[in-house]
Structure 1
């Protein structure tokens, strides 16, 4: 998937009025996720993504430890959104990422995160139930 297609998907799925907002939201979610994951895992997750998008994961200072509440606070701050919007943004952006990477890679990400991050995987888990 190309960068413009990826951002268009984010904009469409989140029903955002501007592409710039989709870019800001994507950067907020993936930078924060990149900070939480170990360096190698962030790089592996970034691999199949468009180069301009994988940068958000790879450029983050990885390996930080923070809970899901802190994750949402960081996303909300970076996206200039409230926490409930930040939670929704994170689920949707990560859901799109999960469509582009292998299921095994998503499971490796999940294994690195504590149980309080389960909400991040909500859309992915719902898709599995439908299948």
Structure 2
């Protein structure tokens, strides 16, 4: 998938009015997720994504320890949105990423995160139930 297609998907799914907000939302979600992952895992997750998007994962200071509540705080601050929007942004962006990377890679990401992050994968889990 190309960068413009990826951002178009995010913008459509989040129903955002412009590309600037879409980029800010995507960057906030992926950069914050990468901060929570080990460096090698962030690189593995980034590899199938468009180069401009994988930068958000690769440029983060990986290996930090923080809970899902702090994840939402960081996404909310970076995207300049309410926490409820930050939670939704996370689910949608991670859901799109999960469509582009191998399922095993998403499972490795999940294995690195504590149980309180499970809600981040709600859209992925819902799709699996439908199948």
Q: What is the correspondence of 1:60-75 to structure 2 with a 5 Å cutoff?
A: 60-75=60-75
Counterpart position of 1:104: 104
- State the secondary structure of the residue aligned to 1:49: coil
Q: What is the correspondence of 1:1-131 to structure 2 with a 5 Å cutoff?
A: 1-131=1-131
| Residues 4-43 of structure 1: CA deviation (Å, up to 9, x unaligned) | 0000000000000001110000000000001000000000
Structure 2 residue runs without a partner (length 5+): none
- State the secondary structure of the residue aligned to 1:66: coil
In 1: Cα distance, 2:63 partner to 2:79 partner = 21
TM-score, normalised with respect to structure 1? 1.00
> After TM superposition, where is structure 1 displaced by more than 3 Å over at least 4 residues in a row?
none
Deviation at 1:100, TM superposition (A): 0.2
| Residues 45-66 of structure 1: CA deviation (Å, up to 9, x unaligned) | 0000000000000100000000
Number of residue-to-residue matches in the alignment: 131
In 2: Cα distance, 1:87 partner to 1:99 partner = 19
Structure 1 residue runs without a partner (length 5+): none
In 1: Cα distance, 2:121 partner to 2:34 partner = 16
In 1: Cα distance, 2:118 partner to 2:112 partner = 11
TM-score, normalised with respect to structure 2? 1.00
| RMSD, aligned α-carbons | 0.3
